Chain A
């Protein structure tokens, strides 16, 4: 059973058990334009919710990515580091950034479900 959450900062978190897979949303990749560089966290790194955890850059600008929940990074997607365009091509799937072992499941309640995130995006478009 998996559950999909969204942050206000346009990250998605797909939770299966105590592991969350995180990426940026379709809206985010569209707004950023062509992505040319992605910096991923080191495996084993421990983060608190809202810590700066990754960087994604377009031609024009760099954007920080913040940890949607606290935990330890278990995997980073090297495919995306090698080919940043994958994020534009499939932000919600193959363009994932990292996986995290969630240490504070209660923090999931601070994230949005798809309906709430879609409403947020509609307000910003």
Chain B
């Protein structure tokens, strides 16, 4: 067989960057691989499946310090940022956050990101692989009155899962009052942190921006809690895939618009009408006429996974698209995928039978169907008792 030690993430770089949690991850037995220029743990001794299942059952701790944390300062930062993305930033209340995308002139997605109004400035979290380009883009495109601060002095942790709130309530009392997509400043173990109730797994959970000098201590404090296990990038990917969440560079990129990517919900009415962001004309036309292709969830009928790049065919064997993310879902107990198909095939069947597809795997067309996302029910805390 192929060398089973080969990894599928990242590319070989001469000298890799490390996060403040690198030593801890190695000490925990992390299998270290290159990712976005950093050496990160793809898994720990628990294994991808064990870590995935643990996160959905209890609480998983992720080091996501490779991601870019950026602050935008200035009285008109929200208006300025709206010139680069189709989200509603001016309407973000203090402590609230939104998901959006930096677009290019073709309406394609340069990067997707979270934007939070801290009350004092805008706090952005962007993908690790794109952060240098994103900063350059914002530097050249934003007016001088909006200053851009790259927070290199902060690490980013994610604690995800149904037990996350119990753990956080012990270590950072007050955060349990946050609802999904809100954030607050809080002290953890004496360190000034900024915590949001958000994440990339489909579970309830928190993302914690913590000073580098305190990162290992906070991580160790969280890991000392009974409910918490360390989780690697492998499970991070299987969790987000089951949640139907996009990974930039795979499910979305500079050639896909938010409309093709079925992210219409992130483009509010005011921005649709007024435009004022790169590629607005393309996006407006797609909203009006429908896009030519659309991202959908895909469930193979059988047991074989269909991975990124797999050709998708219609019932007549005609090529209609390709898989952009695919693999095995431990919570689902079977394979799952996302991909783009010609728009007419992008719907669940009319009469209750799902739209039939063929996935070309190792020369054979395997039956599959269009499926709703998320594949696994979400656990977000929206303020009612769960």
Contact = CB atoms under 8 A, between A and B. Distances in A.
Contacts of B5: 31, 124
9 contacts: A27-B4, A28-B1, A33-B43, A33-B48, A34-B47, A39-B362, A58-B48, A59-B234, A63-B1
B219 interface: no
A56 B328 CA distance: 12
B328 to A, nearest CB: 4
Contacts of A62: 305, 307
A1 B50 CA distance: 40
A24 interface: yes
Contacts of A55: 362
Contacts of A36: 49, 305, 328, 330
Interface of B: 1-8, 42-43, 47-50, 52, 234-235, 237-238, 303-305, 307, 327-328, 330, 335, 362
Contact of B2 (A9, A37, A59): A9
Contact of B49 (A11, A33, A57, A124): A33
Contact of A61 (B8, B43, B303, B362): B8
Interface of A: 9-11, 24, 27-28, 31-34, 36-37, 39, 55-66, 124
Given A33-B43, A33-B48, A36-B305, A60 B234 contact: yes
Contacts of B307: 61-62
A113 B327 CA distance: 35
B320 to A, nearest CB: 23
Given A39-B304, A60-B234, A34 B4 contact: no
A74 B42 CA distance: 38
A29 to B, nearest CB: 8
A121 B14 CA distance: 25
A123 B328 CA distance: 31
Contacts of B8: 60-61
A24 B3 CA distance: 12
Nearest to A65: B1
A56 B1 contact: yes
B48 A59 contact: yes
Contacts of B362: 39, 55
Contact of A37 (B1, B235, B237, B335): B335
B1 A24 contact: yes
Contact of B52 (A9, A31, A59, A66): A59
Contacts of A33: 43, 47-49, 234
Given A33-B49, A61-B6, 17 more contacts: A9-B1, A11-B1, A31-B4, A32-B4, A34-B49, A36-B328, A37-B304, A37-B328, A56-B1, A59-B48, A60-B42, A60-B237, A61-B307, A62-B305, A63-B1, A66-B1, A124-B5
Nearest to A66: B1
A59 B242 CA distance: 12
Most chain-A Cβ atoms within 10 A of its Cβ — which of B2, B50, B307, B330? B2
